[in-house]
Amino acid sequence: MPTAKTTVLKGDFTGSYEGSSYEQHPPTQGGEEGSHRMGSGPGHNVTRRQNLAPPDNVLNSAACAVCGDRASGNFFGATVCLPCKSFFIRCTKDGEPAVQKQCNGCCDVSKELRNRCQFCRFQRCLLIGMTRKEKPMVVHAAEGQELCRVCGDLANGVHFGIFTCEGCKKFFRRGLKEHKSYVCRGAHDCQLNPRNRNNCRACRFWKCAAVGMSRDAIKMGRPRKTFFQSKTDEDQAGLPPSYFHHKQSNTTPPTQLTALLDNKTPQRSLNRSPHRRSPTDEVRYPVCVPHLQLHPEKPISFYQWATRSESCSAGLLGSEPPCVASEDVGRSQSLPNVQTMPMIVPLGSVQSASHFSAQIGENRTFTSSNPYSSLFRSSAPAVTQLQPLPVSLRLNTDASTHSVKKYKGSKPPAPDAPDHFVSTRLCDQTSWAPPASRDFHAERLSLMSSVNDRVVRGRDIDGALDLSVRTNVAPSRKNGVCPPSYNGESPRVYSMQPCSQEDVVSLLRATTTTERVVSEQGAFDDVERGIKISRMDSDSVHDENTRSSGGPGWTVSHRPITEATRQFVAHSDGPEDLSATDKLPQGSALRQNYRLCENVSETGNVSLSSLSSMHINSPCQSYYQWTSTKDKKDLFEASSWKVPTTLVPSLHPEMSASISLNSGLGINRASSETLRTEECTEINYFDSMRKLSRDVLMSEHKTITLNNQNAQYTSEHFPSIPQHCPGSLRQEKVIPSDNCHSIPSEHSQQLRYQLRGEKQSTITPRNNAPFVKEDEIRALNDIADIMHAVIETSERQKTTLNPQETPTHSTIQIPEELTQTKLGFNLVKLREYWDKTLKLLNVPAPVDGDFEIPDIFRFIAKEDVTSYEEIKKITSKKLDVDSNRPDGLWLCREEEQNWKCLQTHMPRNVRGENRFPFALPGVAPIDRDMTVD
DNA sequence: GGGAAAAGGTCATAAG
DNA sequence: CTTATGACCTTTTCCC
């Protein structure tokens, strides 16, 4: 029988906490930690609200008690208009209002004059009784009552195995259900109480998990009678205390659980191992303790708890990766003992976590913060000698376009918009329609020309233009407002050119917008859009149909997976089952390494570009261990985007310091080299490329990038590598050091196999690879030869030029035809270009059809391959040309799908606590009201 | 099958 | 206008 619905009187807070044992506390002054506060819904009213709402006709005719304008309803305890409601919200948003008295206190606050004096208007609000009712910070439970283990509010039962209030129950359930990935804007140490529990969802969810809420702990139905009857005091020690209220008085001494939760000294011994429990001492309810769920037969560790599917799916571990390897791995003698690995737990949980760790026989240390995150600070002395860091940031143009569109909240470009991936950033900022007054072609030519001298340095080993050529900072921010440094005239290009801190911050803001969307809306919305802001610590977007390149923070990528990719991965040393990463602990280094394996483009090329550029030039490798927003913030503050000159003594002002190589032929193959300024010539550049390519292929120990989460593993198995060797071990190539060594990939492979529970056959990851090493070497040699030919051509051109007109830092111009094509990658034009090159080199060119550059170079050295048809046959790749594309030239089917996806998915307006930005050094926070009406 | 308890659903509401 | 929240309500699950 449904009960009659009650109508709630808006703003009626009377009766809150009536009948409860809450203590009424006056509101705190100045607010509590964190000024951010989510809409907390009816949470401020605890008792069921009465049907006290006046009839609509009464309300409609009522006047605002503040200004006399027509009231819109009852808000904050008074009948007021919307402007006054908003005014009151603004005044009380961050604690006490900041309005100062600058009058005699008798100003007219009528409708017409209400904006004249904020002080008097706010006084009027207070006078009529407007108030924000909040829950008390501390709640005391009466007899028989339990407090919520998460926030301390009154619990109304056991939810997910733990006594919680209704709100936390619902909150936790939502978190699990909706795959939310919350971000703490603080230090993951937000204190939770009934009043501020909505301030930080990340910490609230962490707390929920930390106290043991879990789907595994769900106990449906009626508890067994024997559950209460067969327990001795000792056996009851670890049980939720409320269960004993059914059988005994509430004077039960503190149990292990309550003692830990309340930080009291338990009266019973805490050293009993759960292993000692008699099998007859059946505990039907999982005993939930902080970080551990003890089970009589099979105690599980915090790690096991943390890596349960729900914990992972909820993104719990993504925000602060607490572990590096699995328990199974830990049992191997040849692998690190995870029992002793430091484990990261939420702040305030160290003691209890350590306690229970010891209780079940673990000898593990716990820390509340990433012990590695501060490593870069330990090398801070060099910060005294700083020079601006020529950061090379990359944004995929198409992805940044996505970003803009999403954030702008405007429609995607019209289907007939030409060159949408490029031109949208040049489009009208609100309609996405190409303005008739603008010549896109000319603009792009101008853009390309402006960076032409740098573009050549972005040319990849395979001759393709580096993606960063087409990188720009999207004129982001909502409603078309651009980042502060964006002048609105032409797209700012961040492409192999020095960026100022302001530029970086601008880019950061532009991209973080999307990141926030990703983290807030969850992975699966964005999978549909095929967008991700990659973070090495985040797997928020993960779907078998989408791959994103892992990047140091800001790589925006869109990379659909094709069957060809799967095949490639299957025949490489990557995992056969791409979805296998789901089985790995989220946020763990292993998973990240796995993702490197997945970092395969639709061309079958393994992209290591995300590992190549930025982090090498960064003052430390900490980009790879960004585990939270705070980490990023700290990194900003510590590095100030400068690099110790002692580390990079002679950076080329434009070229950055590193040259990296994507082998394109397999994972775990990368090499890099630093060029000094005087060495930064094209010849040296390509010589280095050639050298690197051979190094990559010839090296017995394929370098594998490990981040600091692997430091523990590294130190145990490679004692010569200091544990504090920051970040990527490939750093050895940048900062030569006797202390840094590369990691044989076999070990990584070994880990993978063990983690997957598979038998490791032979550690020859390339056994099934389609090419043998010699082929690759020849192919890369040919590539290098091609590049040399290009250089020679350029040199010949240079000699014909007037020396005074010769560019000082570049002589190779982008072929004009490339600049006129979509992203410079029009296949027809590109093929023409390459045909010329190949002809120059007297290399058989493909005869027909579309082609993919990597394939060309992969097979070019195979003597038995004489036509592109054979190449296609071997690679089994198909490039579908579809006339439905606006310009009639789909690159592939995925592009078409993306295009259609783009059209069907509208961006969402996102609010909430994850709203960017946090304060960045030296830059004023973004004005959230920065809108264009 | 009844009872008990928690999971799960609904929707008014605060807040922006 | 959107969103998150949580008090209340309904359904599910399990024990007796």
What dihedral angle (degrees, nearest 10) is formed by the CA atoms of A595, A598, A602, A605?
100
Q: Which amino acid is at A400?
A: S
Torsion sign across C-alpha atoms A547, A549, A550, A551: negative
User: In sequence order, what DSSP letters do the residues of A798-855 get, joined into one string?
Assistant: HHHS-GGGS-SS--PPPPHHHHTSGGG--HHHHHHHHHHHHHHTT-PPP-SS---HHH
Whole-number Å distance between alpha carbons of A488 and A428: 11
From residue A261, alpha-carbon distances to A144, A151, A290, A507 in Å are 18, 12, 8, 43
Q: Evaluate whether A706 touches A726 at the Cβ level (below 8 Å).
A: no
Residues of chain A with pLDDT under 70: 1-62, 72-74, 77, 90-102, 131-134, 177-189, 210, 216-217, 220-933
Whole-number Å distance between alpha carbons of A739 and A718: 10
- Distance in angstroms: CA A41, C1' C10: 22
Torsion sign across C-alpha atoms A161, A162, A165, A167: negative
Q: Evaluate whether A349 touches A291 at the Cβ level (below 8 Å).
A: yes
- Predicted local distance difference test score (pLDDT) of residue A211: 73
Q: Which nucleotide is nearest to A86 (CA to C1')?
A: B16
A39 beta carbon to strand C: under 7 Å: yes
HSE (side-chain half, CA atoms, 13 Å) at A926: 25
A19 beta carbon to strand C: under 7 Å: no
Residue A802 pairs in a beta bridge with: none
Would you tell me the crossing angle of helices A773-800 and A682-698 to the nearest 10 degrees?
180
Q: Evaluate whether A582 touches A588 at the Cβ level (below 8 Å).
A: no
- Distance in angstroms: CA A206, C1' C3: 21
Q: Which nucleotide is nearest to A911 (CA to C1')?
A: C3
3-state secondary structure of A367: strand
Give the domain A63-128 fold: Erythroid Transcription Factor GATA-1; Chain A (3.30.50)
Whole-number Å distance between alpha carbons of A330 and A338: 5
A366-367 and A343-344 strand pairing: parallel
Query: Closest CA to B12 C1' — which residue?
Result: A8
* Number of Cβ atoms within 10 Å of the Cβ of A815: 17
Whole-number Å distance between alpha carbons of A157 and A165: 7
- Distance in angstroms: CA A306, C1' B7: 22
Strand C nucleotides in reach of protein CB atoms, 7 A cut-off? 2-10, 12-16
Domain parsing of chain A, residue ranges: 63-128, 157-219
A284 beta carbon to strand B: under 7 Å: no
Fill in the DSSP letter of residue A606. Answer: B
Q: Evaluate whether A653 touches A397 at the Cβ level (below 8 Å).
A: no
Q: Which of residues 486-525 of A touch strand C (CB under 7 A)?
A: 520
- Distance in angstroms: CA A159, C1' B6: 7
Task: Spell out the residues 6+ positions from residue A260 whose beta carbon is closer than 8 angstroms to its own.
Answer: A266, A289, A290, A351, A352, A355, A356
Q: Which nucleotide is nearest to A159 (CA to C1')?
A: B6
Q: Which nucleotide is nearest to A44 (CA to C1')?
A: B14
Residue with tokens 């998973």: A591
Would you tell me the crossing angle of helices A118-127 and A82-92 to the nearest 10 degrees?
100
Strand B nucleotides in reach of protein CB atoms, 7 A cut-off? 2-16
Task: Spell out the residues 6+ positions from residue A59 whose beta carbon is closer than 8 angstroms to its own.
Answer: A53, A71, A73, A74, A79
The domain made up of A157-219 is a member of CATH 3.40.1010.10: no
Would you say the CATH fold of A157-219 matches that of A63-128?
A: yes
- Predicted local distance difference test score (pLDDT) of residue A308: 34
- Predicted local distance difference test score (pLDDT) of residue A792: 52
- Predicted local distance difference test score (pLDDT) of residue A113: 75
- Distance in angstroms: CA A165, C1' B5: 15
Q: Which of residues 108-137 of A touch strand B (CB under 7 A)?
A: 132
- Distance in angstroms: CA A221, C1' B4: 7
Dump pLDDT digits (tens) for A522-557. Answer: 222 222 222 222 222 222 222 222 222 222 222 222
**Residues found in chain A:** 933
- Predicted local distance difference test score (pLDDT) of residue A117: 76
A43 beta carbon to strand C: under 7 Å: yes
pTM of the model: 0.32
A930 beta carbon to strand B: under 7 Å: no
> Residue A51: is it exposed, middle or buried by C-beta count within 10 angstroms (0-12/13-18/19+)?
exposed
A205 beta carbon to strand C: under 7 Å: no
Q: Which of A488, A513, A518 is nearest to A926 (CA)?
A: A513
